[in-house]
Structure 1
Amino acid sequence: MSTLTDLLDEIHASPAGLMLSDWLAKHPSVPRRTAQRWASELVRNGQVIPTGNGPSRRYHASAKAAWPAPQEISFPTFIPLSVDSRDILAYVDQPLQARKPVGYQREFLHAYQPNATFYLSASQRRQLHSIGKTPDAHAPAGTYSRAILNRLLIDLSWASSHLEGNTYTRLDTVELIDFGRVAQGKATLETQMILNHKSAIELLVENIDSVGFNRYTLLNLHSALSENLLPNSADEGRVRQHGVEIGQSVYRPLAAPQQIDEALDEVLAKAAAIEDPFEQSFFIMVHIPYLQPFADINKRTSRLAANLPLFRANLCPLTFLDVPEQAYSRATLGLYELTRVELLRDLYVWAYERSTQEYLAIRQELAAPDPLRLAWRNLIKQTIRDVVVAPGEDAVAIIERHVMASVPTPEQPNVQALIIEELRRLHEGVLARYGLRLSEFTAWKAAQAV
């Protein structure tokens, strides 16, 4: 995903100035309005100088307000780093021209042997288990993630999107997810990104018994995250068939589709065999971005996939709250260009500690899940979907038919009342939960008003 930083870098690399139309031609995934907003922000900050008007306007780098060189941007001091991590930082903080171009190193993956090789040390794993333990440790898989789902949807959707340059605030995200209200002045791309995260998280939590580290799960997770965001919609949920480049990096991923397929199979097989949930989580955060199996949205896919083993083990989630984008970018650069995990590992441990501080606190405030809603959640969702997609039919009749066919007689009145309550609270922000499209919901609402 291209960012404001990419735009500024290309302006600096264009002695004659850069026309926005030329930049957009090379970055078709960026909406024109977003690029115009970025350019205006750079002008306001004094980082670029515009010349000309209309379509022929060019943007020139400002000599007195240049973009800081990487080595001038200090790594956050509140994230503890090992000596090895500082060594990685010293390398990636060099100018691009000083770093050695490198391709995909197959031995990096081949050398990893599940449950014999460990990226996280034994003491780190013990520490993570200790701070991430929840009261639901021995409950069925997914119990904890379902209990905190409403908060999880907001925190993880917002924080992961923020790492991609999304400018939605956390409050904007609450308004969008809880009430279906789109933030004013935000690009459509940003709204779509948040909603895609919500759908992807729900996919994992609601299907916890069937998802795993396999192609079906990973491809569908990517499809949910990439919906309506890629220049070519055929790339959604599909292993890439072409080469890609990594912005601001000398790393060149595999380009041959057959090699990508083979490496992805190996990544998933090894991930599935790892027994420790934290090692499994970190392994996937390393090898999905490193392989770049998709045309784009690889890091987002890895961040959500990294939560799957935590959901299954009823551990606190990894939400990436307060993770600085610069820290995350440089940690992944060290992975790409040196195949070294120390900096990303230090960031992972810090980020998980930060997440658990939030979730262990809010867990005390959560009411126990409604056992009736939990027991009949699939019936409730299917019934609401059937009501909405048939706006001309009697809603109560549909509900009664579904309840009588599946629910024991003593529970029927309560389940029916529960479905009616859910139907009354239906809004744009929860449509994905029921597999509904906005057009279906709009048509149903219109029918109710007649």
Structure 2
Amino acid sequence: MPKLVSAQDLDRLVELIGQYPDGIGIDRLSQAMAMVMSRRTLQRRLATLVEQMRVKLEGEGRAIKYRISPVNGVSVIAEAADIVQANSEVYVPTSPEGAEIRAYIRQPRQQRQPVSYKVEFLERYHPNLTYYLPESLRAQLHLLGRSSASQQRAGTFARDILNRLMIDLSWASSRLEGNTYSRLDTERLIEFGQAAEGKDALETQMILNHKAAIEYLVRDTEHAGVNAETIVALHAFLSDGLLPDPLACGRIRNHPVDIGGSVYLPIAMPQRLEELFGIVVIMASEIRDPFEQAFFLMVHLPYLQPFEDVNKRVSRLAANIPFIRHNLCPLSFIDVPQQAYVDGVLGVYELTRIELLRDVFVWAYERSCQQYVAVQQHLVPPDTFRLRYRNSLTEAVVAVVRGGMPVSEGSIRTTIPATVAENDRERFVELVLTEFKGLHAGNAIRFGLRPLEYAQWQEGTRQEGSTESLGG
């Protein structure tokens, strides 16, 4: 009895042929599907598709090409738009190479060949000589990402749009990990400290961790660069309260890990892992083009898996470091289909091929630019007074909280730093009072205050106020 061919296998083949509007020959198809099926199996399935009138033949002999059959007399045109499968899965536009990777990754796990870390994948890359992003593509991305702050101090543009960036990137990056917070829920949590009802506490923690990590990158651009300290710090922020072993937070792992749903086996030896982590970061720091640098980090940090968990989140935020430092539009991952991103990463893990992840990266960056061009046009000019006394403001807020003082004009006057000019002190008091009105446990980190520290101060001043009212 002949073996039944699954509809999924045929759909995958149709999808690959659809990437070639002018048709594709059997030799090219056989190369693309070599890891999936034999040439004879491919020929049988092509015959089935021709019989079903889903694919048509053109030409004769060795010049025969396969094309998607017209539907109701209308030709199928491959456009740069979202690809929607029969199951309504939204994807990103893929290159022919990306489609090949996707076809392989979509096979059942049992049919994919187990692989380990290949150091030659890293060795083949030479900063500023090797490029994952072709020159024409890099030029296109530079035009898209340019901001009005391009000639200003590093990090200016990211600081100008910080609130919007924290919400967008925290939500989108968390969603790629399966977080079910909506964008509105995320906005309420970040802006007002309101956790969404019915959500797991770990989901709330994941969002707040992203917020803290993004603030760190944007507010400390002088020190937050492409270096080992920053990458480790990002892991510390992003994994806070999420790992079974708290000691693994901000540390290179010292035991083997598995990748769920993948046949890839990362390096297990801690000494080798630490050595390669250093090499990856040094190589990344030497890359001059910010887009190439960002994509290199998105490829090699997850591939190495230097941390016990949270590696992909670290890579997504690390990819934003060059954009922040060059005042380019940030990469928020807004609207990126989860499956497309996962497939792209699996393509790196199992095939050491970057084309599908590159398709996702380019689409995601174009989408981010569309978002932030509109934001850029409506930027409110910065408060120069607040900028001038930013450090003094931090000193005053910290002094009030750590001193256990209530918020009042009198208490604030006792905390005014000597750096505030005499003529500016009245306005400075108003600035501090305004800042406290919007301060909560979720955003107190901006002043170096931990959420628990702020909450204890808030509870203490509330109890003190209650005692005074009873006694009065």
TM-score range, shorter chain: 0.7 to 0.9
Residue deviations 1:385-418, cap 9 Å, x none?
2211221478646643553411233333323321
Q: Does 1:310 align with 2:320?
A: no
1:18-417 → structure 2 map (5 Å cutoff): 76=90, 79-392=92-405, 396=409, 399-417=412-430
Counterpart code for 2:295:
F
Distance (whole Å) between structure 1 residues aligned to residue 405 and residue 186 of structure 2? 34
Number of residue-to-residue matches in the alignment = 379
Counterpart code for 1:312:
R
What percentage of aligned pairs have identical amino acids? 51
Q: Secondary structure at the match of 1:134?
A: coil
Do the aligned partners of 1:179 and 1:428 also contact (CA within 8 Å) in 2? Answer: no
Distance (whole Å) between structure 2 residues aligned to residue 153 and residue 136 of structure 1? 19
Structure 2 regions of 5+ residues with no counterpart? 1-84, 467-472
Q: Secondary structure at the match of 2:170?
A: helix
Distance (whole Å) between structure 2 residues aligned to residue 381 and residue 196 of structure 1? 21
TM-score, structure 2 as length reference: 0.77
Counterpart code for 2:437:
R
Counterpart code for 1:215:
A
Residue deviations 1:144-199, cap 9 Å, x none?
00000111110000000000000001111111111111111000010000000000
Aligned Cα root-mean-square deviation (Å) = 1.8
Do the aligned partners of 1:383 and 1:398 also contact (CA within 8 Å) in 2? Answer: no
1:139 CA displacement: 0.6
Residue deviations 1:288-317, cap 9 Å, x none?
000000000000000001001101111111
Do the aligned partners of 2:445 and 2:451 also contact (CA within 8 Å) in 1? Answer: no
Counterpart pick for 1:427 among 435, 440, 445: 440
Distance (whole Å) between structure 2 residues aligned to residue 271 and residue 84 of structure 1? 25
Counterpart code for 2:158:
S
Moved more, 376-385 or 318-327: 376-385
Do the aligned partners of 1:115 and 1:274 also contact (CA within 8 Å) in 2? Answer: yes
Q: Secondary structure at the match of 2:442?
A: helix
Counterpart code for 2:344:
A
Q: Which structure is higher in RCO with an 8 Å CA cutoff and minimum separation 6?
A: 1
Q: Alpha carbons of 1:290 and 1:416: their partners in 2 closer, same or farther (altered >3 Å)?
A: same
Q: Alpha carbons of 1:397 and 1:256: their partners in 2 closer, same or farther (altered >3 Å)?
A: farther
Distance (whole Å) between structure 2 residues aligned to residue 148 and residue 390 of structure 1? 32
TM-score, structure 1 as length reference: 0.81
Distance (whole Å) between structure 2 residues aligned to residue 189 and residue 217 of structure 1? 24
Structure 1 regions of 5+ residues with no counterpart? 1-70
Distance (whole Å) between structure 1 residues aligned to residue 408 and residue 283 of structure 2? 48
Moved more, 365-374 or 168-177: 365-374
Do the aligned partners of 2:259 and 2:265 also contact (CA within 8 Å) in 1? Answer: yes
Distance (whole Å) between structure 2 residues aligned to residue 348 and residue 108 of structure 1? 19
Counterpart code for 1:84:
E
Distance (whole Å) between structure 2 residues aligned to residue 227 and residue 148 of structure 1? 25
Q: Does 1:438 align with 2:451?
A: yes
1:382 CA displacement: 2.8
Of the two, which has the highest radius of gyration? Answer: 2
Distance (whole Å) between structure 1 residues aligned to residue 395 and residue 227 of structure 2? 27
Q: Alpha carbons of 1:392 and 1:375: their partners in 2 closer, same or farther (altered >3 Å)?
A: closer
Residue deviations 1:35-54, cap 9 Å, x none?
xxxxxxxxxxxxxxxxxxxx
Q: Alpha carbons of 1:189 and 1:162: their partners in 2 closer, same or farther (altered >3 Å)?
A: same
Do the aligned partners of 1:101 and 1:252 also contact (CA within 8 Å) in 2? Answer: yes
Do the aligned partners of 2:209 and 2:239 also contact (CA within 8 Å) in 1? Answer: yes
